[in-house]
Chain A
Amino acid sequence: MKRIALLVAALLLLAMFAVACGGTTEQTVEEAANEAAETVEETANEAAETVEEAANEAAETVEEAANEAAGEANCADEGVVCVGLVTDVGEIDDKSFNQSAWEGAQQAAEALGAAEVNYIETKDAKDYGANIDLFATQGYDIIVTVGFAMGEATAAAAGTYPDIDFIGVDQFQSETLPNLTGLVFNEDKAGYLAGVLAASMNESGTIASVLGTDLVPPVVAFNEGYKNGALSVNPDITIIDTYHPGGLDVAFTDPEWGASTAQQAIDQGADVIFGAGGKTGNGALIQTAGNEGLWCIGVDTDQWETVPEAHPCLISSAMKLITPGVVDLATMSNNGEFPGGNFYGAVGLAPFHDHEDAVPQDVKDLLTATEAGLQDGSISTGYNPG
């Protein structure tokens, strides 16, 4: 039996590396000349056939790949636009940042008649740079990188590849590079709109916000805007705002804390809850949905799509409009008007969805007027970072 095992191995190896060695194989099998040898022969022949087939297929694939490669090489050509996107450690269909940015990249690619639009999902945080390089070395013209964590790798790549324009979603730039623009947002404005909506829908005189950590400036901006927006509607309103006490590792992934904190606020009379802080905020939304006659407001994206459990209370979400921001910046890049530094994307409230009829027309008008006022600067959110 040992001998057979050895033979099978040797034959498999032979078959793998040199299909042409059929003669040698048969000789060896004849030497063995017993029942097992037949098995060996069959195996060898089968293996040889498989390898031959595989070789043919491989040849075809190589040809295809070569053709494709030729197509991709066009990215380096003048006038051919290619758009690439690298995700943070996360999925392209996360119904949040990565997905919004990818939709933006696709829309931009269509609008600009791009030859290629492609993405890479980052598996290992150490590969940010390598993944950007994959696009850069193929001559891609615009590379979108998603998330604060990729800021350093993106800035380094922008230095290495001065001819490529980089869009860093949620990456605030403290230094200005001409070919790197951070797509950032005035979270305080989105929060302000949410506050106006909350105070308008409020009946009890108390509203609340359940937040991720105040270590992250955008979270603070959301909350300050929210409070000032609510006070602008009702100067006497009581606002219970609670930040998660933990560090960055847990502050956004603690739905249980979010739920219990929301319930505490509800017990103290709050009837509108603003949940701003990833899964922690989602916990607050879902908890609020479990109570009768309350409203809740989501954050970042339209959470009607991401937290269906919150539908009973989810009246709107304070959104960062990542998709149009990416489209705008990609278009500017294509027109040779890439701004560099920081570009403030639009913010706004998500649609009311099923609660459309619950929002009175005068509240809708107030929100429209507030949005216009925030845009032209006649309304200040009162938030002053730093």
Chain B
Amino acid sequence: MTTASAPGNRGNGARWLRQIWRGISVPLVAVLLAGLIGAVLLQISGANPLQAYGALFKGAFGSPEAIQRTLEKATPLIFSGLAVAFAFKAGLFNIGAQGQLLIGAIVAAFVGFSIEGLPAIIHAPLALLIGGLAGALYGAIPGALKTYTGAHEVIVTIMLNYIAINITDYLADGPWKDPSPTNIVARTPRIMPSAELPIFGNIPLGFIFALVAAVVVWWVLYRTTLGYEIRTVGLNSSAAQYAGIRVARTIILAMAISGFLAGLGGAVETQGIVFRYQPGFNAGLGFDGITTALLGKTSPFGVIPAALLLGAMRAGASQMQFDAGVAKEITDVITAFILFFVAADVIVKWLIRQRESDDEQVVLSKGWGG
């Protein structure tokens, strides 16, 4: 295609194509394989796979409202995916995006409902910022524990997720509970209209923020000294130390920024979708950030199509149930298979005979050795 149209530039074109291919081959084949397995499962469960996938597509992209739904579902995944990807560049596996996202979501809700009389131009960004900072603080904890005590961030972040769930449950059923007489469930009051994020046509503002965040993350990682330090620590922290990089500071900062991104995702969800904090409404958004980041090969720009794909599957799931009578769990199964094939990319590489590995690889176990 490109090679044929630019014969004089053939070498460059091929190299460019090859690089793109390298980036997308594994996720692309993983998605196709998972889709095929999903089709088999659909067939076995008595549904017509093509009709089901058609309904899924219709529910995700078939109308302006459907596209808006897809964007809304993708937005928090972009943030949590960026959070996980960012920490990954520093050699850290942030399983705690879920907890950081919950903290960001409830703090943004608090700023949103407790402050009255601010103009929207100040109130909404303020809630976002404080929500993000709360997530950053929560993310910095495992970073600090890792550098000062050697506690592994995977273990610590998993435990901090439970702590976050219980903190938010307590706040939503205790001091920050919606006091209106008709309310009997655990949830905060609705945020002020001035803290809500608007929707332009069918494009939620939060989605635009997510795209901007991806650009900023890319810029920080590849165009700043801090980014260079983070990537160096991620590749080899001993070498980084030897080169004069302050490893402890870099790790804490990387976890804080990762937490900031996750917290921002929670704040955007609160201010753009739920308009309050309610336990259960943000379930899994942070965990799915891990899926998103791996599917996007931990690249800031790879995260966007990955989140859009997962978001589309969620947005279309109801339509698929409605039109094809398919159990709602099938999209989860397909997602799980996508993740399986991306994580076990040896299988995929064997299938497409791509054995060379001269590019940066996603190494799941990086960091386990300390």
Interface residues of A (CB under 8 A from B): 1-2, 4-6, 8-10, 54, 57-58, 61-62, 64-65, 68, 89, 118, 120-121, 123-127, 130-131, 133-135, 148-149, 174, 215-217, 247-249
Contacts and interface: CB of A to CB of B under 8 A. Distances in A.
A9 B25 contact: yes
Residue from A4, A118, A130 having most chain B Cβ neighbours under 10 A: A130
Given A8-B352, A126-B274, 7 more contacts: A5-B25, A9-B21, A57-B50, A130-B69, A149-B185, A247-B186, A249-B279
Given A126-B274, A149-B185, A120 B54 contact: no
A126 B356 CA distance: 44
A58 B50 contact: yes
Shortest Cβ-Cβ A-B pairs, 7 listed = A5-B354, A61-B50, A123-B328, A247-B173, A61-B51, A121-B328, A58-B50
B352 A1 contact: no
A5 B328 contact: no
B318 A120 contact: yes
B18 interface: yes
B314 A120 contact: no
Interface size classification for chain B: 35 or more
Given A248-B173, A249-B173, A215 B21 contact: no
Contacts of A123: 314, 317-318, 328
A12 B7 CA distance: 22
Contacts of B1: 10
B322 interface: yes
A5 B321 CA distance: 37
Contacts of B164: none
A215 B322 contact: no
Interface in B163-204: 169, 173, 182, 184-186
A6 B54 contact: no
Nearest to A131: B318
B360 to A, nearest CB: 16
Nearest to A65: B51
B170 to A, nearest CB: 8
A84 to B, nearest CB: 9
A148 B355 CA distance: 55
A174 B181 CA distance: 11
22 contacts: A1-B355, A2-B354, A5-B21, A5-B25, A5-B352, A5-B354, A8-B353, A9-B21, A9-B352, A61-B50, A61-B51, A61-B54, A64-B48, A65-B51, A120-B322, A123-B318, A127-B318, A133-B65, A148-B184, A248-B184, A249-B169, A249-B279
Contacts of A58: 50, 54
Given A61-B51, A249-B279, A130 B352 contact: no
B48 A61 contact: yes
B319 interface: yes
A58 to B, nearest CB: 5
B48 A1 contact: no
Interface in B335-370: 352-356
B19 to A, nearest CB: 11
B341 to A, nearest CB: 16
A217 B184 contact: yes
B17 A6 contact: yes
Nearest to A134: B322
Given A9-B25, A123-B328, A125-B281, A134 B319 contact: yes
Given A5-B21, A6-B17, A247 B318 contact: no
Interface in B68-125: 69
A141 to B, nearest CB: 16
B318 A130 contact: yes
Contact of A216 (B54, B184, B273, B319): B184
B324 to A, nearest CB: 9
Contacts of B48: 61, 64
Contact of A248 (B186, B281, B314): B186
A113 B69 CA distance: 34
Interface in B270-310: 273-274, 278-281
B267 to A, nearest CB: 16
Contacts of B354: 1-2, 5
Contacts of B14: 6
Contacts of A249: 169, 173, 186, 279
A332 to B, nearest CB: 26
Q: Which of A5, A62, A174, A248 has the most CB of B within 10 A?
A: A5
Interface string B1-39: 100000000000010011001000100000000000000
Contacts of B352: 5, 8-9
Contacts of A126: 273-274, 281
A37 to B, nearest CB: 13
A273 B327 CA distance: 38
Nearest to B358: A2
Contacts of B184: 148, 215-217, 248
Contacts of A149: 185
Contacts of B280: 89, 125
Nearest to B48: A61
Contacts of A54: 50
